[in-house]
Every structure is written in structure tokens, then in C-alpha cells.
Amino acid sequence: MTASSTALAGRSLLRVGPLTVPMRRRPVLVAVTLVLLLAAAVVLSLSLGTPYVAPADVLRALSGAGTPYDLVVLDLRLPRAVLAALAGAAFGVAGTLIQSVARNPLASPDVIGVTQGAGLAATVALTSGAAAVLVAPAALVGGLVAAVLVFALGARHGLAAQRFVLAGVAVAFALRALTEVVMLSADPIDGLRAQLWLIGTLAGKGWTEAAWIAGTLAALLPVLLWAGWALRSTALDDDTARGIGLRPVARRVGLAATGVLAAATVTAQVGAVDFVALVAPQVARRLVRAERPPLLCSALLGALLLVLADLAGRRLFAPTQLPAGVLTAAIGGPYLIFLLLRTRGRRS
Amino acid sequence: MTAMLSTRDLVVGYETRTVLDGLDLDLPADAFTVIVGPNACGKSTLLRTMARLLTPRRGAVLLDGTAIRDLPTREVARRLGVLPQSPLVPEGITVADLVGRGRQPYQRWWRQWSAEDGRAVDEAMAMADVAELADRPVDTLSGGQRQRVWIAMTLAQDTEALLLDEPTTFLDLAHQVEVLDLLHRLRAERGRTVVAVLHDLNQAARYADHLVAMRAGAVVAAGPPREILTADLVRDVFGLDCVVVPCPVTGAPLVVPALTHTSAAPAATPAPAGASVGDA
């Protein structure tokens, strides 16, 4: 790392082979802290429950030493914790991309119809007696189809922020209404299952769902490396962006499509735990004090948030289990409010 | 004169309205060109089309003789800088960051910074006199400072030519002069080609090497202001009667609107001797 001119605005240059990236110190510190907190949260999540397993035993089980707790820690709790971390990270990525393209801090997968598309497809699958393994693939397709619809509606204006959000809200409402119709005309038990799916839960899920999300994120990795760089120009207006040699419409479509893929994949696997996508980018942005949500820190924060939410849902009212979707809002909401109040106080 | 930017048979319109209909124009290299004309005459449309922000229906914009649409947008951005009329300031962005965005055409996601980037950004901030503001958020600056920051961003682009759409609008007089002085220095000291749309005829006459007067999508006159800016031209282009006198400071043509019915209150002092109303 070497420091340079005032032009770098307090950044240091990170050089790795052909890679040259100016970086501020704060996002790096935040990212490292989040990784440590995430590790601690995962250990805690493997430790708490019935039976309780001491953290030291959790670590020994994880190291493959062979302990009496292997079944509880490695087979029962680990898959769910890994799923929570991966799903949270995917929601964080999706939220960052969608909020940046929509230029709207309130945007999340449910604002552009992805959640509702997945929800409608899942509801149809759950109430029509389709095989259980078909629910997630159906939801994935449903989410993607809804997004294509939103893109088509927004395309005439180059997927401009406001148009994108309006098209999304319109599609989301229409799909939600359809979902209600399907649910109300279905067998009440099936309707209830569909409703639980829509809230989003990690209960009874594990390696299969985690693998889907991990695979998608891995496949998107090259795009995400580009996106981390491309995101910084989404706040510029189109004329300015063209002036400096960018193609803003192509960029928006690429970034939004990446966000939609992440959102549809994770929603299909764990349901509509949307609040993570809404809150993680905004909290991360305030933690790193940047003008836009940071991709990596949002992903890490999303992971941390969902691991904690799932843990709280399992333990707070044990033996009653609350779905993670309920808890993310309960934890993330107040924290965002706290950050908003603190930022306002400092600015004025 | 060598033309750096030209248009050939340019037709540009919005939906059903045609704004420019077959425009041929050559803008000289290494000069400060100012485009003037009444509202809705197509001057901004012309500038935006030359900056490839608008796509013409027919015809072409030539940059050093090559059609601009045949060039990759990244290459155009290394040769042609653009300052749109009211660019959106990204929330919370600092001056150095925004000026650094001007280096975009030289950067790739794997090479996001070079020593050359640092040099160009520092030089651009010094030239536009915003170096002391480097760490300030742009949205906390005054209008004049903000405009200089935007100009610094286009300077960091290190282009031979710079196009500006009404760069002085919304600025008070002192800041207008500041911005125009900066553009003048760019031409005089750096040999850049500068093209700007301006509203104020007198500022245009004072600063322009080459003046382009437009009306209803066509060029009425083009040339050095001292040669073409006459009372007849002003009446022709703006439909305004006026007196043209030499500016007491620069000697450039100074346009003074004649008394009209709406401003008919008698002046306290008589018109200076030797000044004659344009329609005499």
C-alpha cells in the first residue's frame, strides 16, 4: 500500500499483480470487523439450543476432531447457519444492486416484483399438489419472469430509476393480488403452507438450499467484481455518464439483472426474508460512511443479520420457533432508525 | 481554419418535432466558440448532439473528420469532454471523488487508478481552483464552486475539446465571469477547443473567438463577434431592436436593447451622443 496525491482523497492504493484499486481504510476495517462478528455469530448459533454445546466444543467439532456433539453441531445446526449466512449475503448483494439502480434506499426485491413473482409461483406449486422439490425451481422462474416484465415496462425509458420503481411496484401489486386469489381459492391447509413460505423461514432447510445460493453467487462472482466498480457510476445522471464514456443504460440493465438473479435465487430457497435486502445496504453504507452502499460490506452485514435473526427466532421463544423473516425486521429496523437519527444529528 | 467538430446534414428531433433540419456547421479548433440564439432555437440540441448525448435522425457529427458514432464511446470521452446543463450531484460525494470520475475513460475495473490519473486530477483541481475544496462534499458547496468542480471533472478527462451547455446559468454575475475566465484560460493557455452555449450576448461577444448565432434550428451567422454581431443580426435572430456600441472595457460589441413600449419610462439621462438606434 502506498499513499498518493490529494486526488486519491484519503485512499491508499492496493496493488495485486495487474490489479490496482484505491481503497479507503474504513471499509476495510468494517469488512474485517464484520467477518469476525459473523464468525462469532455462527459459533454462537451452533452453540445455543437444546442441547447447549459449549463454544469450545463447537470449535472442536468444526475442526473435525470427532466429538459427541458432531451430530448436533455438524449435521443439525451447521447446515442451517451456513444457509443463513449465504442467504443473508445474497440478499445484501441483491439489495445493494437494486437500490443503486433504482436510486432509492427503500428499494428491495419486493419493490421490483421479484418476491411477488416467486411468491405467486410458489403458492401455485404449494396449492396445486406439485412435488415439494418443484416449489423452489418454480419460485425461481416466477421471480425471474416478474423481473423480465418489470424490465420490459421500464425499458422504453432506459430503465430510468423512477420508471423502474414504478413498473416494479405495479407488477408487485398485480402479482400479490393474484397470489391472494390463488391462496383464498385453495384448500385452507395448503393456503397456510403458502403463507408460511411467503414469510420466509430457514426451518427444515440446509445444504441443498445453501448449495443453490452458493452456486449462484459463485457463478456471479466475476460479474460482482465488475459490479463493485460499476456501482460507483449509478449515482451520476445519464448525460454526465455518457460524457465520461459510459453506457449508462447497458450498465443499469447489467447491474439490475445481476441483483435480480441473486434475489430470485435466494427468495426461491428461503422465501421472502426481504427486509435483509432493504436494511443491510443502508446500514453498511452508514458504517463505511460512503455515498452509496458498498457491495462486500452489505453482503457481510446481510449474512450477519440473517444468522442472528435465525438464531433469535429459534431461541427467543423456545420451544416456539419464529420464522427468520419476522426477526430480521425486528432486529434491523430499530438499528436503521438509530443510524438515521445519529446521522441527522451530526449533519445539522 | 481547421475544423475540429463539424456537422453534416444534421437532422435532430424529439418525437414529432424536428429541431435541426439539415444543419452543416464547422467549429474551429483551438478556439472558444459560443453558440447563441433565442430559447428553443436548437442551440442546446446542437451541442448535445455534438456531444453524442442525442442521436441524430440523419446526418453525422464529425470529430476531426471521423463520424462520432463510429468511434467507441470511451475513445470519444478521451477526446471530447461534456458538461451537461444541470448535472446531478451524487449525494455525499467529495470534490476529489467527483473530479476523479473524469478519469473513467482511462480506467478499467482491474486498473482503477494510475499515477497519470492522480496527476490529471490534481492539475484539473488546481486549474479550476477547487484544490482547497478537495475533501468537501460537493452538495455543501455554493453554485459557483459547484460549477467549477464540474468543469474540473471534465478537465480531468484531459480532452482536446470541451462542450458546455449553459455553464453560467444559475450563477451570479461574479461567478459567471469566474467560469468564463476559466474557459478563456483553457483556450489561451492550454490550447483547448471550447464550445459553449450561452444566454448572455455581451458575455458571448466578450469571450468568444467564434460566434454562432442560431434561429429556428438554422445558423444565421457565424464568425468573430466583432465582424458579425450587429444590430441587424440581433433583430434578425432575437427580434429585438438594439444599439450596438463598443464595450468600454474590451472594445467588443456591446448590445444595449432599445427602448420598447414595455420599458418606455423616460430615462433620467439622455442616450449618449453617437449611439444610434439599430433601425435608423
**How confident is the model over B5-34, as pLDDT tens digits?**
999 999 999 888 899 999 999 999 999 999
Residue B147 contacts A, CB cutoff 8 Å:
no
Kindly give the parts of chain A with pLDDT less than 50: 1-4, 345-348
Half-sphere exposure of A69 (CA within 13 A, CB side): 22
Distance from CA of A334 to the nearest CA of B (A): 24
Collapse the DSSP code of B22 into the 3-class scheme (helix H, G, I; strand E, B; otherwise coil) and give the result. strand
Q: What is the pLDDT of residue A1?
A: 38
Round the average pLDDT of chain B to a whole number and report it.
89
- Chain A: closest CA distance from residue B1 (Å): 26
Task: Give the per-residue pLDDT at B243.
Answer: 93
Question: Using omega within 30 degrees of 0 as the cis cutoff, is the peptide bond preceding A319 cis?
Answer: yes
CA distance B134 to chain A (A): 7
Alpha helices in chain B (DSSP H): 43-50, 73-79, 95-100, 115-127, 143-156, 173-190, 201-207, 225-228, 231-238
Residue numbers of A between 208 and 267 with CB closer than 8 Å to B: 225-226, 228-230, 232-233, 235-237, 239-240, 242-247
> Which of B112, B121, B123, B136 should we substitute to test contact with A (largest number of A Cβ atoms within 10 Å)?
B112
DSSP, res A54: -
Give yes or no for a contact between A31 and A43, defined as CB atoms under 8 angstroms apart: no
What is the pLDDT, as a whole number, of residue A348?
Answer: 34
* Amino acid identity at A149: L
Cα B118 to Cα B108: distance, rounded to the nearest angstrom: 15
**In angstroms, rounded to a whole number, what is the distance separating the alpha carbons of residues B236 and B59?**
27
pLDDT at B217 over 50: yes
B29 in contact with A, Cβ within 8 Å: no
Mark which residues 98-137 of B lie under 8 Å from A by CB.
Answer: 99-102, 104-105, 109-115, 117-119, 121-122, 125, 131, 134-135
| Cα–Cα distance, A108 to A255 (Å, whole number) | 14
B119, B125, B157 ranked by CB distance to A244: nearest: B157
Q: Which of A173-182, B104-113, B263-272 has the lowest mean pLDDT?
A: B263-272
Instruction: Report the chain A residue with the minimal C-alpha distance to residue B90.
Output: A235
**Confidence category of residue B245, pLDDT binned at 50, 70, 90:** very high
Q: Under a CB-based contact definition with an 8 Å cutoff, are residues B137 and B94 in contact?
A: yes
Residues of B in contact with A10 (CB under 8 A): 135
Is the CB of residue A318 less than 8 Å from the CB of residue A50?
yes
CA-to-CA distance for A90 and A220, rounded, in angstroms? 11
Question: Would you list the DSSP string of B27-70?
Answer: EETTSEEEEE-STTSSHHHHHHHHTTSS--SEEEEEETTEEGGG
Tell me which chain B residue has its CA closest to the CA of residue A233: B101
Cα–Cα distance between B233 and A61 in angstroms, integer? 89
Chain A environment of B125 (Cβ under 8 Å): 6-7
Cβ-contact B71, B77 below 8 angstroms: no
Strand order in the sheet with B58-63: B17-28, B3-14, B58-63, B66-67
Interchain CB contact of B154 with A (< 8 Å): yes
Pairing verdict, β A2-3 and A12-16: antiparallel
Grid coordinates in use for A144? 425471474
CB–CB of A292/A100 below 8 Å?
yes
Rounded distance, CA A97 to CA A88, Å?
A: 14
Using a 10 angstrom Cβ sphere, with 0-12 exposed, 13-18 middle and 19 or more buried, the burial of residue B163 is buried
Chain A residues in contact with B128 (beta carbon < 8 A): none
Residue B14, CA atoms < 13 Å, CB-side half-sphere: 10
Q: Do B99 and A7 touch (CB under 8 A)?
A: yes
Most distant CA atoms of chain A, gap in Å: 68
B83 backbone dihedrals φ, ψ, rounded to 5°: -115, 105
- Give the confidence band of B201 by pLDDT, cuts at 50, 70, 90: very high
Neighboring chain B residues of A8 at a CB cutoff of 8 Å: 96, 113, 118
Can you tell me whether residue B279 is helix, strand or coil?
Answer: coil
Beta bridge partners of B193: B161
Residues of A in contact with B82 (CB under 8 A): 239-240, 242-243
CA-based R_g, chain A, Å: 21
Residue to substitute from B111, B113, B139, B150, interface A, most A β-carbons within 10 A: B113
Residue scoring higher pLDDT (B190 or A331): B190
Residue among A279, A281, A236, A231 at smallest CA distance from A254 = A231
- Give the cell for residue A330: 425486528
DSSP labels for A85-121? HHHHHHHHHHHHHHHHHHT-TT--TTTTTHHHHHHHH
CB crowding A93-110: b at 16 or more within 10 Å, else e: bbbbbbbbbbbbbebbbb
Determine which of A225, A240, A282, A288 to mutate to test the interface with B (most B C-beta atoms within 10 Å): A240
Asked if B93's CB is within 8 angstroms of A233's CB, the reply is no
B90 with A18: Cβ contact below 8 A:
no
Residues 6+ apart with CB under 8 A from B211: B33, B34, B36, B204, B205, B221, B222, B223, B224, B225, B228, B229
**Per the CB < 8 Å rule, is B77 touching A229?**
no
| Cβ contact B111–A20 (<8 Å) | yes
Strands B193-197 and B3-14: unpaired
Q: Give the predicted TM-score (pTM) of the model.
A: 0.86
What is the Cα–Cα distance from B131 to B124, expressed in whole angstroms?
9
Measured between CB atoms, which of A9, A225, A235 is closest to B134?
A9
> How far B180 CA lies from chain A's nearest CA (Å)?
21
Q: Give CA torsion, residues A324, A330, A332, A338, to 10 deg.
A: -170
Strand order in the sheet with B161-165: B80-83, B161-165, B193-197, B32-36, B210-215, B218-223
- Contact, A327 vs A313, CB < 8 A? yes
**Residue A22: which of B112, B134, B135 has the nearest Cβ?**
B112
Give the pLDDT of residue B280.
36
Identify the pLDDT of residue A347.
43
Q: How far is CA B279 from the centre of its chain?
A: 30
The long-range contacts involving A218-223, CB below 8 angstroms and separated by at least 24 positions, are A220/A93, A220/A258, A220/A261, A220/A262, A223/A254, A223/A258
Is there a contact between B96 and A9 if contact means CB atoms under 8 Å apart? yes
pLDDT digits (tens, 9 = 90+) for B31-55: 999 999 999 899 999 999 999 999 9
Mutate to test the interface with B, among A8, A244, A258 (most CBs of B within 10 A): A244
Q: Do B100 and A7 make contact, defined as CB atoms within 8 angstroms?
A: yes
Q: Could you tell me which residues are beta bridge partners of residue B23?
A: B10
Whole-number Å distance between alpha carbons of B183 and B187:
7
SS3 B270: coil
Contact at CB, B112 and A291, closer than 8 angstroms: no
Q: How do residues B129-174 score in pLDDT, each as one tens digit?
A: 999 999 999 999 988 899 999 999 999 999 999 999 999 988 889 9
For residue B102, the model assigns a pLDDT of: 94
d(Cα B228, Cα B33) in Å, to the nearest integer? 13
